[in-house]
Amino acid sequence: MSDSLQRFLLQGAPVRGEIVSLDTSWNEVIQRHDLPNSVRDRLGELSAAALLLSASLKFDGTLVLQIHGDGPVTLFVVECNASGSFRATVKLREGATVPENASLSELVNVHGSGRFVVTLDPRVRSASRQPYQGIVPFEGESVAQVLEHYMARSEQVPTRLWLAADSHRCVGLLLQRLPEEGGKPHGPVQSRSSEASTTIQDTDGWGRMQLLADTIQSDELLGLPAGQVLQRLFWQEPLHAFDARGCQFACSCSREKVASMLRTLGREEIESILVEQGMVNIDCDFCNRGYRFDAIDCAGLFVTGVSDEPPGTVQ
């Protein structure tokens, strides 16, 4: 399984971990976007981080990570769910020059007004299960540092991340300290209860696992299969591995969703676009699929709705 996420526990210690490796699905993302290398690699790191965090969701829903920027990049977005499906996109500032080998901070926090947004959207909403959004100032130089600061402050869960991406792969390793017996972490992104119920014997495990993981280099993360990364780092540690699960690129856009969005613009706005352009064209920022609505389609928006089936859908 080339695109997969593996969860594991350090036996006898309050430490859980995950490693994710994306090949095919990552190439599906970058083939849809013409991006400078530094932007592409930061998007890959954010994609790996999002999948790592989504594996710990307490509910059936979607996790969205956004980084809003004031530099050459105005927005990074990765959306994923606990099943391993994800999609990702970037918006570049028109006319901006992207520095070669730029850090995340140089891409989005040039003037100090970058911000990081976490959104949790449950698939089924109820009185006790509503969407959650956390917005924090940008803090850190890398994707890993931004996520670590967020988890420490908003979730109160000590978390470490090691991330790497290039034109072929993106990989992420996560370590997280579990609460001691009888406690539980705060915030919406939490460990599964079955993983937190370990008997604590190895009180030095958290510090030791971090020291070992800090020895990994980006070229090792990108060049070795996930299993070999774990073996190289933790070969002396008693790890308990759970079944790996697949990861895949999947876009949730549809003609019906686009039609709903167009209805929110109102009849007058839609008619003005038709007068100016003769057609309403909407392209998905994630997968580049195009949706076309002619005058008849647009009239139908405000009568009986639009079928999910295309005449106006183009690839």
Residues 185, 201 within the same domain:
yes
199 phi and psi, to 5 degrees? -80, 125
> Over the chain, what is the mean pLDDT?
87
Residues 39, 55 within the same domain:
yes
Average pLDDT over residues 171-179: 93
User: Tens of pLDDT along 88-141?
Assistant: 999 999 988 998 889 999 999 999 999 999 999 887 776 667 778 889 899 999
193 phi and psi, to 5 degrees? -60, -35
Please give the DSSP secondary-structure letter assigned to residue 295.
Answer: H
Q: Which residue has the higher pLDDT, 200 or 116?
A: 116
pLDDT of 190 reads: 54
Residues 261, 228 within the same domain:
no
CATH number, domain of 269, equals 3.90.1280.10
Average pLDDT over residues 25-50: 95
Task: Inform me whether the pLDDT recorded for 315 exceeds 50.
Answer: no
Residues 9, 27 within the same domain:
yes
Residues 215, 301 within the same domain:
no
Residues 98, 189 within the same domain:
yes
248, 84 in Cβ contact below 8 A? Answer: yes
Residues 141, 234 within the same domain:
yes
3-state secondary structure of 47: helix
Average pLDDT over residues 15-35: 95
pLDDT of 181 reads: 58
Residues 157, 115 within the same domain:
yes
Q: Whole-prediction pTM value?
A: 0.87
Counted domains in the chain: 2
pLDDT of 5 reads: 96
Average pLDDT over residues 239-243: 89
Integer angstrom CA distances of residue 263 from 252, 258, 286, 298, 308: 19, 9, 21, 9, 15
Residues 65, 145 within the same domain:
yes
Pick from 50, 51, 61: which is nearest to 129 by CA?
61
Average pLDDT over residues 153-178: 93
Domain extent for 284: 255-314
CATH number, domain of 234, equals 3.55.30.10
pLDDT band at 192 (very low <50, low <70, confident <90, very high): very low
Task: Inform me whether the pLDDT recorded for 66 exceeds 90.
Answer: yes
Average pLDDT over residues 19-30: 96
The percent of residues in the chain predicted with pLDDT above 70, rounded, is 88
Residues 179, 120 within the same domain:
yes
Q: At which of 228, 249, 270 does a domain end?
A: 249
Find tokens 């070992």 and name the residue: 212
Q: At which of 249, 268, 285 does a domain end?
A: 249
pLDDT of 73 reads: 96
Residues 87, 196 within the same domain:
yes
Residues 209, 272 within the same domain:
no
What is the Cα Rg of the chain in Å? 21
Q: At which of 210, 230, 249 does a domain end?
A: 249
pLDDT band at 153 (very low <50, low <70, confident <90, very high): confident
